[in-house]
Amino acid sequence: MQDLLDRLVADARVFAAKGSVAAYIPALAKIDPRLVGLALADRDGRVVESGATRIPFSIQSVSKVLSLSLVLESRGEEAVFSRVGRESTGDPFNSIIRLETSHLGKPYNPLINAGAIVVSSLLPGRTAVERLASLLDFVRSAIAASEDGRSAAVMVDEEVAASESATGFRNRSIGWFLKELGLVEGDVDEALATYFSQCAIRLDAASLARLGAVFAFDGVLPGGKRLLSTRTARIVKSLMMTCGLYDGSGDFGVEAGLPAKSGVGGGILAAAKGRFGLASFGPALDGRGNSVAGVAMLTALSRELDLFEL
């Protein structure tokens, strides 16, 4: 397995030159686009990894599957899906036009920005600080068990959060439109503050792979403790399969056949049912906001190990 990951990482380095970092968030423009890493976590919490897997980065939209999982567990399906749909859009992740033109009267799914802002407003807690704390605690619980006893620090990159807040004009527009539709719970600015901070959570690819394993084993942690209900894990994976790579979800589904969620920080979290949690890191992005190297590595890994779920 180690030789396979080493080979895939080496092969993927060429893709780093074919993308660019997410410079529209100034703090992300500083990331080295040449970084590439790939990690795999098994049922026992063991991680096999290669490349830049221990370099923390802001997980950005990967956080959407984590906040969704926590809200589904704490508030239930009705609280979420009465406000957010479950359909793919084919639009960019930060599109606003569907909010006004859709017959749904709500965001199409929880993995685009509009849907994720709604979900952020539903996190446990009365303030942005309390909601973020509940999400951080959830993430810590999900990655605590590792075969080497290593527990990665789970924190918010305050520079990235401030950068997102200062430049997040479109997301603020989306937030206020959602409020007009009656979909955001509580104060809009509190919901947006939570959203900007959750996107700035810093993790590395090794930790993301352990998060992926939670979904791969339907909500069960290494050692057998259940973190999520089977129903929640399967709902989230289904949305990852259909919506997880924005308007590139269909292509990735056809080529890799894995539920996955990407973020413009360069990370991708994926789950191979009953086998592995997977994560890749490569800050150079394609035009859809997905890691060029990450998509290539996960697609190749799926083919090599026959991880297709379809």
Rg for the chain (alpha carbons), in Å? 18
Q: How far lies 66's CA from each of 59, 63, 185, 205, 211, in Å?
A: 11, 5, 19, 15, 9
Q: Which residues are catalytic?
A: 61, 64, 195, 246, 264
Query: Can you read off the two tokens belonging to residue 67?
Result: 């906040």
**Measuring CA to CA, which residue among 193, 203, 221, 198 is closest to residue 277?**
221
187 residue type, one letter: D
CA–CA separation, 188 vs 101, rounded Å? Answer: 22
Classify strands 260-262 and 276-281 as parallel, antiparallel or unpaired. Answer: unpaired
Q: Which residues face 220 on adjacent strands?
A: 226
Place of tokens 């790579």: 245
**Phi, psi dihedral angles at 24 (to 5 degrees):** -70, -15
Q: Which residues of 56-88 are buried (b: 16+ CB within 10 A; e: fewer)?
A: bbbbbbbbbbbbbbbbbbeeeeeebeebbbbeb
